[in-house]
Amino acid sequence: MIYILPVLAVLLSFIIIKVFNPRKTLFINLLLAFSGSFLLSLTFFELLPSVYTKANSKTIALFILAGLLLQIFLEFFSKGAEHGHMHFSLEKNKFPVILFISLSIHALVEGMPITNDNNILLGVLVHKVPIALILSIFLINSELKKTFIYLFILLFAVMTPLGSYLASSSPFFSNYKTYLHALSIGVFLHIATIILFESSKGHSFNMQKLLVIILGITTAYFI
């Protein structure tokens, strides 16, 4: 299931957008806020306590900070697509290699801490759905060739399971599993906090968003 569900999350999100072709809606924005709080909470409840019991605390902290820096670096190329921002102008006959590579690295890293023994899969799925919806809206409404759109979505869909597979099956990755999990924590912390703390429109107080964030934290606590 840890290999199948992330793929289905992306593909089904794409199909929904392809069939109904909505624009970015309030529902997707609220789902994005829920996903940020849910993923952040699971990171604190499950991943952080786990990695700090398995290695030197300062070393773990360095890898968490490295994850933060990695995500900041990736966003120079993705323009924030990992948390729902699409600031690209795509050419019809040119596959968006830079966007694809940056999103794929992010997806690979987020797949590494997913195992059958934790709930991080749920956090990643809840995060991936709104991102896949927004990405699909962007691609479908762009001038990019349909062949490139389908190829992009298919390849992007398998990156998170690939990260999970490498972390569990590759001897090299398995030897550094704890540190890779710490790297993922840094990525999760950056993405989730950006989603949660981005300014609301007009810097106004948003009660709906606050309630959704509280719901995400509560859900993560009780699962």
Domain ranges of the chain: 4-17+35-222
**pLDDT attached to residue 205:** 55
At 159-185, the pLDDT tens digits run: 999 999 998 888 888 889 999 999 999
**Is the pLDDT assigned to residue 204 strictly greater than 60?**
no
Residue 199: pLDDT over 60: no
Indicate if the pLDDT at residue 94 is higher than 70: yes
pLDDT band at 83 (very low <50, low <70, confident <90, very high): low
Q: Which of 59, 35, 39 is nearest to 47 (CA)?
A: 39
Pairwise CA distance, residues 13 & 28, whole Å: 11
The pTM assigned to this predicted structure is 0.89
Of residues 122 and 92, more confidence is placed in 122
Count the neighbouring beta carbons within 10 Å of the beta carbon of residue 4. 9
- The CB-based long-range contact list for 151-154 (8 Å cut-off, 24+ gap) reads 151/95, 152/95, 152/96, 152/100, 153/10, 153/11, 153/14, 154/11
